[in-house]
Structure 1
Amino acid sequence: MVDEMNNEIAGMKEFNVGDIVSAKVTKVEEKQAYADAGYKVDAIIPISELSSLHVEKVSDVLNEEDELEFKVIKAEDDELVLSRRGALAEKAWGDLQTKHDSGEIIEAEVAEVVKGGLVVDLGVRGFIPASLVERHYVEDFADYKGRTVRLKVVELDPADNKLILSQRAVLDEEAESHKKEVLDNLQVGDTVEGTVQRLTDFGAFVDIGGVDGLVHISQMAHHRVESPGEIVKEGETIKVKILAVDSESERVSLSIKETLPGPWTTIEGQIEPGDIIEGQVKRLVSFGAFVEVAPGVEGLVHISQIANRHIGTPGEVLEEGQAVQAKVLDVNPSEQRISLSIRELEKADTSDQKVQQEYSEPEEDHSGFSLGDMIGDQLKKYKK
C-alpha cells in the first residue's frame, strides 16, 4: 500500500507559478470550476480567472470535459490555482506585438460598450476609444455590441495590461488608398458628379468619389457670383468639370460654369435688333456703358447712344448699378457683341443730327475723336 502511494506521488507533476499547463475540466460550479492537471488534488479555476472580460457564470465559458491550457497562479502542497485568462494573455501579448509591428488588421467582436468607447476580447482586454471607432462623430454606440470591427493595435503595454486599438486607423488607411486611386484616374476635361461638402467665402468643396475638389467662386456661373450659397447648398449633388489635378498636393480644381450652356448661347434668338430690353449698368468706360441684359451677357451703349445731347463722359447721365431701358441696335452672338441705344428711346428733337455728328467715329474705335473729326471743316474751307 505504501509502495503504491509512493509510486503515485512519484508520478505527480511538479508545478511552478507562471507555468502553462494542460488540464481537463472535471466540475463546473457557479463561481468556480475544477480541473485535473495531473496534480495530487484537482486544480481550482476561479470565475475571475476565466476571461479578461466580465463573466456572469462559469458555464458561460467552461464545460465539463473541456481540455484547455491554463496558467499556474498558485501552487502549494494542498492547493493548485489555475487561470484561463493568464494562459490566453501569455500567448496574446506576443501575437499582438507582432501585429502591432507589422500593422496587421485584426477582426474582433465588440464585447462591451462602456463609457468612452468599446471593449473587445483578444485574449486580453482591448479598448477602442470613442474617437478611434469611426472617421465621423458617433453619438450613441449602443448598437455596436456584437458587431465585428476591424482594428489596428496603436498602443500596448503588457506590464500595465494596456491594449489600445483603433478601427479609425483602418478606415483612414483605406480612404487614403482610395483617394490616391481616384486622383490617378481623374482626367482633366471630364464631367463628373459630386456632392457639395462645405461652402467658404471663396468657393465650394465638392466630394467627387472620395476626393474633395474646389469650385472657385469664379467658376460657379457665367455671371458674377457674390456668395457660393447663391448657386449651391451643402449636401447637393451637382455636375462639375475637372479643370486641373495635382496628385502630389491632392488638389483638384473644378468648374460648375463649364458644365452650363454659355450665356451667349442661351440668348441666341431671344434678343433681336429693334427689341426694347431692360438691363443694369455694370461698368462705365470712357467710350460708353456696359449694360447686363441677361446673366453673363453685357451689351454696349456707345457714348453717342446715351443721350440726345452731347456728354463728355457716360457718368454725366448713368451710374453703375442703375436700371435702364435700351433699344437693341445689333446682335452678334458669335462675336459676343450687342449694340444698344438709350437715346433711341428718348423723344427725338432737332439736335439728333448734331449729336450724331459729334460722335461720328465708328463704335468699334474707342480711342477717342479722329483727326478728321477735329479739322475736317477747316480742311474743306482751305481747299475752296
Structure 2
Amino acid sequence: MSEEMNQVEVRNFEVGDTVRGIVTKVEEKQVIVEVSESKLDGIIPISELSSLHIEKASDVVAEGDALDLQVLKVEEEALILSKRKVDAEKAWDQLVEKFDKGEIFEAEIKDVVKGGLVVDLGVRGFVPASLVESHFVEDFSDYKGRTLTFKIVELDKEKNRIILSHRAVLEEEKGKQKKQLLSSLKAGQVLEGTVQRITDFGAFVDIGGIDGLVHISQLSYQHVEKPSDVVEEGQKVQVKVLSVDQDNERISLSIKETLPGPWTNIAEKAPKGAVLDGQIKRIVSYGAFVEVFPGVEGLVHISQISHKHIGSPHEVLSDGEKIKVKVLDVNEADQRLSLSIKELEENVTEEIAYELPEESKGFQLGDMIGDQLKNLKK
C-alpha cells in the first residue's frame, strides 16, 4: 500500500475509536498489529498493554493474537493504540456488577507491593495487607502467582480505585459454616475440640469453626480452682454438648461428662472392709460425709463415729479433718457408701466393762463376809 493511501486510511479513524487488530510483531517495548479491514499498521506501546507494570511485551501478548484496541492517536501512517483502555472499559462494567451483587470471584496475584497485593482485573485491583487473611501474615512473598477468592469492598471508577478483600470471603464462609454447625448440634453429642482460650470462669473450645464454653464446673469431677490447672490452650479434648442457643449462638459444653464418673467401679476401689483415707466435707446432725476419692463421698452415721455415746458429730469431728474410715457397705448403682470410724478405734468401754466384774466380785465377797460377821455377833 502506498504512503498516500496509508495517509488516507489513517484519516478514516479518530481518537477513541475501537478497532480490531492482529499481532504481527512483538518487540520488547511495543507491539505491532495489523488493523483489520484496513491493512494499516498500529502500534501498542508497552505501557498500553496492561493496567499493571510489565517488563516485556511478550509477557502479555504473542504473534497472531486478535485484540480489541482503542485509538489513542492518529499519526500520518499509523495508529497509536491501547489494549489497556479497552480492557479497562470491559472490566469496569463487569466489576460494577460484581460489586453490586457482592459476588465472590477468583483472581491471580500478579504482584506483591508495599502494603499489600496487586491483582489484574482488566484494571488494577489492590488488596491491602489487612484484608488478605483473617490472621496476621508477616511475609507475602510467596503469594505472587497464587489464585485467591475475592470480594470487592470499595469501587471508585473516577479515581480508578478498586479495593479487594480475601478476608471478607473467609469470614463469610466461616459465618455460613457456623450457622450450619449450630443447626446441626444437638444436646448429648460428644465431639472432639481444641481449647482456644482460657478464662477465670472456664475454657472456650473450638468444635469445628465455632467456640463453645466449658464452664469451670464442667471441667472435672474434682473441685477446680483455676481452669488452667486442668486444661491448656491448643489441647485436644473430648466434649459433650449440654445445650445450644441458636439465637445468641452460644454453646455449653462439658469435659467432665465425657470422663468416667467418680463412682465408676467404686466397688473395686472401695470394697467392703477396705480401710481408706478420707477428709470430712460436711457434718450433719445424723453423721458426717467423708470424701474418700475425688467426687466420692460416703456417710459415717453418728452411730459409727465413736464407741462412746455422742449427742452430735460436732463433739468429736470437725470440717476438713483428715481421718481413716472403714467401708461397711458399697452400692455403685445408688452411689452410696457406708463408712465407719469407730471400727478402726479400740473399744476402751468394752475393756473397762470386762475388767469391772472381777473387781466387783471382790467387793461383793467382802460385803458378804462382813454381813456374816454381823450375823455371828448377833
TM range, normalised to the smaller chain? 0.7 to 0.9
2:23 is the alignment partner of 1:25: yes
Q: How does 1:153-232 map to 2 (within 5 A)?
A: 153-232=152-231
List per-residue Cα deviations over 1:56-93 (Å, max 9, x = no partner): 12222233443312233334657743222222111111
1:110/1:118 contact within 8 Å kept: yes
2:340 is the alignment partner of 1:341: yes
TM-score (norm 2): 0.81
Counterpart of 2:29, as a letter, is: K
**2 CA distance for matches of 1:16 and 1:287?**
109
Task: Return closer, same or farther for 1:309/1:251 CA change in 2, 3 Å cut-off.
Answer: same
**2 CA distance for matches of 1:263 and 1:217?**
17
The alignment yields a C-alpha RMSD, in angstroms, of: 3.0
1:35 maps to 33
Shift of 1:215: 1.8
Task: Return closer, same or farther for 1:112/1:6 CA change in 2, 3 Å cut-off.
Answer: closer
**Structure 1 unaligned spans of 5+:** 355-384
Shift of 1:283: 2.8
TM-score (norm 1): 0.80
Shift of 1:28: 3.2
Q: How does 1:97-108 map to 2 (within 5 A)?
A: 97-108=96-107
1:9/1:40 contact within 8 Å kept: no
List per-residue Cα deviations over 1:87-131 (Å, max 9, x = no partner): 211111111010111122211111112222221111111111222
Counterpart of 1:29, as a letter, is: E
Counterpart of 1:170, as a letter, is: V
1:277/1:293 contact within 8 Å kept: yes
Larger Rg: 2
2:364 maps to none
Judge which range, 63-72 or 247-256, deviates more: 63-72
List per-residue Cα deviations over 1:272-319 (Å, max 9, x = no partner): 332210012223444443221111101123445445656666556544
The SS at the match of 1:263 is: coil
Task: Return closer, same or farther for 1:269/1:142 CA change in 2, 3 Å cut-off.
Answer: same
Judge which range, 284-293 or 137-146, deviates more: 284-293
1:377 maps to none
2:61 is the alignment partner of 1:62: yes
2:366 maps to none
Counterpart of 1:336, as a letter, is: Q
**2 CA distance for matches of 1:109 and 1:169?**
17
**2 CA distance for matches of 1:316 and 1:185?**
57
The SS at the match of 2:134 is: coil
1:283 maps to 282
**1 CA distance for matches of 2:286 and 2:115?**
71
The SS at the match of 1:152 is: strand
**2 CA distance for matches of 1:288 and 1:233?**
40
1:133 maps to 132
Task: Return closer, same or farther for 1:229/1:8 CA change in 2, 3 Å cut-off.
Answer: closer
Counterpart of 1:339, as a letter, is: S
1:241 maps to 240
Counterpart of 2:30, as a letter, is: Q
Q: How does 1:291-302 map to 2 (within 5 A)?
A: 291-302=290-301
Task: Return closer, same or farther for 1:311/1:16 CA change in 2, 3 Å cut-off.
Answer: farther
Judge which range, 41-50 or 100-109, deviates more: 41-50
**2 CA distance for matches of 1:61 and 1:335?**
81
2:370 maps to none
Shift of 1:14: 4.0
**Structure 2 unaligned spans of 5+:** 354-378
**2 CA distance for matches of 1:277 and 1:222?**
19
1:309/1:351 contact within 8 Å kept: no
Task: Return closer, same or farther for 1:317/1:271 CA change in 2, 3 Å cut-off.
Answer: same
List per-residue Cα deviations over 1:172-217 (Å, max 9, x = no partner): 2222222222222222222222222222222222222323222222
1:293/1:299 contact within 8 Å kept: yes
Query: What's the % identity of the aligned pairs?
Result: 59
